[in-house]
Amino acid sequence: MGMGIFGIVGLVIIALLYALFPLIVMAQLRGLKLRFDQSNKNTIKLLDQITRGDAANIESQTEIWREIKSQNELSRQLLRAYGHEPEA
């Protein structure tokens, strides 16, 4: 009797994990996409500042390269998450 209850509880836990797994993965992908979108907005904003001459050129270029590097890393993570291997 005791083994039957543990078996049923185990099956329920496995069923819950199986049902919730896609939701967990989608939540992680959504967070990654939000970070990617924010990085993209920051890059565009910095490029606009340089084009208009609002910011110091050297500092803005350094910041742009940081944003682009971050954006590239986020792009690679998104590609891996969707099952594609990014090119080097």
Q: What is the pLDDT of residue 77?
A: 78
Averages of pLDDT over each 10 residues, the chain, 88 residues: 78 89 85 82 76 63 74 77 67
Q: What is the pLDDT of residue 87?
A: 64
CB 29 within 8 A of CB 78: yes
Q: What is the pLDDT of residue 32?
A: 82
For residue 10, the number of C-alpha atoms closer than 13 Å in the C-beta half-sphere is: 6
Query: Which ranges of the chain does DSSP label H, i.e. alpha helix?
Result: 2-52, 57-81
Q: What is the pLDDT of residue 52?
A: 72
For residue 74, the number of C-alpha atoms closer than 13 Å in the C-beta half-sphere is: 19
Give backbone dihedrals phi and psi of 83, rounded to 5 degrees, phi first: 90, 15
Q: What is the pLDDT of residue 38?
A: 83
49 CB contacts (<8 Å, ≥6 apart)?
A: 55, 60
